[in-house]
Amino acid sequence: MALSESDYLALLVHRGWLNHEQVASILPELKAGEALDELLAGVLGWEAVKVARLRRTEAGRIFEVPGFEMLGELGSGGTAEVFRCREKKTGEVMALKVLQQGPAGHALTKAAFVREAKLLARLEHPGIVKGFGVARAGEVYFSKMEVIPGRTLLEVLDDGEPLDEGAALTIILTVAEALAYMAGLGLVHRDVKPGNIMWTEEGEVKLIDLGFAAGAGEASAADSAVGTAEYLSPEQARGGAAADLRSDIYSLGVTLFQLVIGRLPFEGSDNEEVLRKQVMDSLSSPELKGRGLSPHLHYFIEKMMAKDAEVRHQSWKQLIEDIRQQLAGRESLDYEGQVRDERGKRGGRGFRR
């Protein structure tokens, strides 16, 4: 069904092709009955090929990049959309991450998009999505990545499926190994969270978004916090903190908490309230004591989420060895067998590594 002119105009604004000043400049003629496409070309100076392409693709909502066939949409975020596509020349199926037009107009966002694509192309680790570079088709910027069939851990949690303790620790171990690899290259992730971790149909775990990754020691602006509010360490929440692997460890601790409890440790009505709680409030969760979870899990969460970065694990190697020992001990003691009935009652899910 074709869009009405008003809906199409609203879509052009929503997707960043028009700002409110430009709309105001053509609105009188539009109300007088002039054709929108003619106004875009005549008043705003758009080329005819651009006007036709945007009309054909509903302001870019329908994916269209030369050389690729769209097979379906995989997801979308604040700055980009991801499509499953087939490259016509090779027949290879891949994921294309397309920068939305509005963000593409912001130099910093565009630079971050290109930087992430180039970073993924040079990283080689089974726990990190593989990238194949960045390209541009006219005004459209896109990066090429491997397709990962599956769901993000956030989607798993949103479906009401908290994980059992052993599965959660196995996931945390896999992510920690990927982050350790990044740290070995002098990189800190800065946005570790369930929404950036995929669980594949084969039971693999992969980091999929490195948009906030930075060199170790790189500082953010003094009045800004980089990352997602609910997962920021206290030092990140205060703003101006240098990129530090111990902040990633904190965010991974929040992720572990959320995987086994099914909710975030600190919640609020807005980001400011959440950030305040990250800095000021102590960790408190009656669920940790009431669900048959082991003292070792309490230890990991409390240590990884310590307010003082000096109290947390000080290296990925330290954390990885700690988790491996715990998983080995659980297997030898058949801890899961002891609490299987409890897990069955609460519907916990298990993952394979």
CATH topology of domain 151-346: Transferase(Phosphotransferase); domain 1 (1.10.510)
What pLDDT score was predicted for residue 217?
76
Confidence class of residue 100 from pLDDT cuts 50, 70 and 90? confident
Least-confidence region, from 120-129, 209-218, 300-309, 316-325: 209-218
For 81-97, write each residue's pLDDT tens digit.
899 999 999 999 999 99
Q: Determine the Cα–Cα distance for residues 129 and 116; give it in Å rounded to an integer.
A: 12
Confidence class of residue 347 from pLDDT cuts 50, 70 and 90? very low
For 24-44, write each residue's pLDDT tens digit.
999 999 999 999 999 999 999
What pLDDT score was predicted for residue 342?
46
**pTM for the structure as a whole:** 0.79
pLDDT: which is higher, 105 or 261: 261
In order of 50, 81, 131, 285, 336, the CA distances from 84 in angstroms are: 24, 10, 14, 40, 38
Q: Where are the domains of the chain?
A: 5-56, 68-145, 151-346
Q: What is the mean pLDDT of residues 174-193?
A: 95
Active-site residue list:
191
Confidence class of residue 228 from pLDDT cuts 50, 70 and 90? confident
- Domain 68-145 architecture: 2-Layer Sandwich (3.30)
C-alpha dihedral sign at 85, 87, 93, 96: negative
pLDDT: which is higher, 276 or 223: 276
Q: Which residues contact 57 (CB under 8 A, 6 or more apart)?
A: 63, 64
